[in-house]
Each structure stands twice: as structure tokens, then as C-alpha cells.
Amino acid sequence: MANKRYFIDGDSNTRTLYDSTAANQYILQDNEQGLDALDSEHIIEPTANLYASRYRTTAYTPRLVSATYRLYPDTRTPAGLEAIRKTWVNWHATRRGMGQLKIISHGGDTRILDCIPMKPEFIDRNVIVETVNQQYIGPNPFFRTETPTTVNAGMNTAIAVTNGDFAAITGTEDDGTSDTLDNWTNDGVDDPSGDKVEATATAQAGDYAAMLTYATAQTSIQSAAITVIPGETIKLSFYTRGDATEQGQFLVYDITNAADIVALSDTGVTAATYAVVTSSFVVPTDCVSLYIKFHAPNAAGVAYFDTVTLMRTSLLASCLVAGDVPSWPVITITGICNTPRVTNSDSEYIETSGASVNADDTIVFDCRPGYRGIKYYENGAGSGTPWPFPSGAKFITLPVGTYNLTLTATSGVVTAAVVYYAYYEGAF
């Protein structure tokens, strides 16, 4: 396997420092230092607000990587040496800001250190060969993978409820015979006593609604299984009406754990006109599938249901983190929202008190040491505007293993991308 070194400068230009498989003007000497595990010395990391509580982990002192290279021009001339010396200095211009030291080991592992190059130190110069000591300082002292992991999720985005408007039916509405409502299962099938589940033209919207009749027994209708994510917050909404005396009932059932999430409850609507009913709930641990169930009144009467929707009111991103140490995420929120907050599984959060106003606005929470901050990009463009960072907010981390991030906001409809790397104690 190749042993290679690259420096990717702050302008995203990739510079080949050394390649053991190719003839190169830059030859790595044997005194490379600072690639192994960190020393134990560390300091407590404060929050952005010095009067707020201290962050729960520690921040290590910056890593210093030092390597010696020989500059050896192919031309074997003083002019050639002068040219590659100038090239080296240009590559390591500190004015470009944060760059990346990329190391590919003999074993094939690729590791990246986010770092700032120090001023090169040239020594032992002769006519056609020169030695340079080059140092890189990493504010975040851990090496990371080259390719990040991205987890996408949405807040206030709809979860599909198949045939939630009861438009797809098999049968004839309002004919006294139970109908088949596609993707819903009912238990009122042509009961001669009058217990029916029918499609009815008495709809809140569209052509049909579901009409559930109690004559001698309570009928019900159940949705197809709906896929969900444990821990996310969901709002169930539906329209219902009674018969001016009786009201229907509803429940939400956890198929995975065989338990009610929302127990059988009255709708609270007895009037013979439609009204919207909402119920918010948190998806239980391990639950990945649920159904919605509507019941006729629990006494002789009729209830109607229509326009059934599910909406995620919090975003949940489940992150699987590899590596040796916790990861620092970059969270990009796109859309319209007010006071977004991202909370980790330890109830620590990062938040801004700002509000975005356009569907393509982005808010970026960058938790990486050396890059930290919250910025707002109107229409997703420009250099970004720093946004407020209220007391109590922290630059959160993702511990190694499976970890959840939850996005909430006072209002809004957004999507979010959580980007993170696996970090390691050393390059090897």
C-alpha cells in the first residue's frame, strides 16, 4: 500500500506533499511527529456563555504535527530549487485559513486532521537540495475519516396515511351495506342488526368519508401499518362529526410493542358538523410501526371520520457514530422555522433565537472545534450572518454508538441534514 501525504488548503486545493509510489519533488524524512495518541493533558471547555454551566466533556490542547521534507527539484538546478521552494510557501499560506492534512497509511487507512499550516522553516540549504520543517496545528486534535456520514430528516413533514381521505372504496356509499375502504380494515361487515362501516358522501372534503354505525355493537376501522421512528413526536389530525347526540372514538396502537400509544378516547365532537381533532404523542422506544383506529360511538348512534393526517412535529435523526472519540456534528436546517433547537440524548442542546422566513433559507449549527458557530444564510446563499447563541446552549457532541438528535422549533416546516465524521485518537 502507498504511504502518502497531502495538504488540502483553505481554498480546497489538494497539494501532494509525498507519495511513496511516485517520483516526487518532496521527500518525507523519518522524523514525523504528532500522529500518535494525544497526551493526557486537557482543559475544561467553557460554553459560549462563560456564566452558563460548563460543558460536560473536556477539550484537549491542540495537536501539533511536525514533519521534515527534502525539496529536490527534477531539474537539479538552483532555479528549480527556488521554484519549488516558492511553491511550498504558497501551498502553506496561512492567509487561506483552516485546511486539512490528509494521511494515507501503508495499511490503506485514510485520516484527516483539520489544521492550520504554520510558517515553513527552511534549513540545510545547498545548491539543489533544501530541507523544510513543516508544522500543522489542529484546534480539534483528533483525526477523522475523509468521508462523512449524513442523516436526513424532516420536521413538520407529513407521514403518509394511505387512503387517509377515504377516496378509494369498493362498494356503494350510503346504501346500508358495509363497504371496503382501501387500505383500511373494518369489523362491520353487513351486520343485519345495522352495525355498519360505510363510505358516505357526507364528507368533510372530497367525495367520501367513513361512517361508523352502532346499532347492537361498536364497529371500528383500522389503518394499514404506518412506519415511524422511535422517539419522534407525531401529531395525529382528523376531522369528525357525530349525529348531534353521540361521538366517535379513536386510538393509536404500537404494533411493535403490542400496546396502546393513545388509549381509546372520545373525540369530543357530538355535533352534526365536522370539527378537527388533534392528538400529539411520542413514538415509544423500539416502536417502528403503528396503526390508527376509529370506533363508532359506544352507544346507539353514528360517527363520521375524514381527512386523516400524521405530521412529524419534531425531527429525529438517529446517528450511528464510529471511531474512538465523540463526533462533532454540523447540522443544516432548511426551511421556515422559529427558534430552532437541536437536543441530544443527554438533554443538552444547541439553539438560536432567530427565525428564518424563506423556504430555501438555511441555518447551520457547526459544532466542530475551530469552526464553531451558528450562521443564517438567506435563500441558502452568501457568506452567512452569525446568529444569537442564548445562555444554556452548548456545542453538542455525538458519542460513539447509536445516538439520537431531536430538532424542535416554535413553528415551521423544515428539513435537516446532520453531517458527522468518525474521529480517532491518532492517525494510525
> What is d(CA 414, CA 156) in angstroms, rounded to the nearest whole number?
7
In what helix (H) or strand (E) does residue 373 lie, and over which residues does it extend? strand 373-377
The confidence band for 59, taking pLDDT boundaries of 50, 70 and 90, is low
By the 8 A CB rule, do 267 and 248 touch?
A: yes
Is residue 283 within 8 Å of residue 291, measured between CB atoms?
A: no
Q: What is the 3 state secondary structure string of 216-242?
A: CCCCEEEECCEECCCCCEEEEEEEEEC
What is the C-alpha separation between 292 and 221, in angstroms, rounded?
A: 8
Higher-confidence residue of 265 and 188: namely: 265
Q: Which residue has the cell 375502504?
A: 181
3 state DSSP class of 380: helix
Q: Is the Cβ–Cβ distance between 409 and 352 less than 8 Å?
A: no
Q: Residue 10: pLDDT above 50?
A: yes
pLDDT tens column, 327-374: 999 999 999 988 998 988 788 899 998 899 999 999 999 998 878 899
- What is the pLDDT at residue 172? 77
Residue 235, strand partner residues: 280, 311
DSSP state of 164: T
Mean pLDDT of 401-422: 87
Residue burial 345-362, b: 16+ Cβ < 10 Å; e: rest: beebbbbbebbbeeeebb
- How far apart are the C-alpha atoms of 421 and 45, rounded to whole Å? 21
Model pLDDT for residues 108-163, shown as the tens digit of each residue: 889 999 999 999 999 877 778 889 999 999 988 999 999 999 998 877 778 999 99
The length of the chain is 428
Higher pLDDT, 53 or 220: 220
Pairing of strands 401-408, 315-321: antiparallel
Q: What is the pLDDT of residues 194-215, one digit of tens each?
A: 899 999 999 999 999 999 999 9
pTM score, whole prediction: 0.70
Predicted local distance difference test score (pLDDT) of residue 408: 83
Which candidate, 307, 298, 251, places its Cα nearest to that of 274? 307
CA-CA-CA-CA dihedral for 108, 113, 118, 120, to nearest 10: 10
Q: Is the pLDDT of residue 58 over 60?
A: no
Domains of the chain, CATH where assigned = 4-141 (2.40.30.200), 149-155+314-424 (2.60.120.860), 158-312 (2.60.120.260)
Res 297 pLDDT > 90: yes
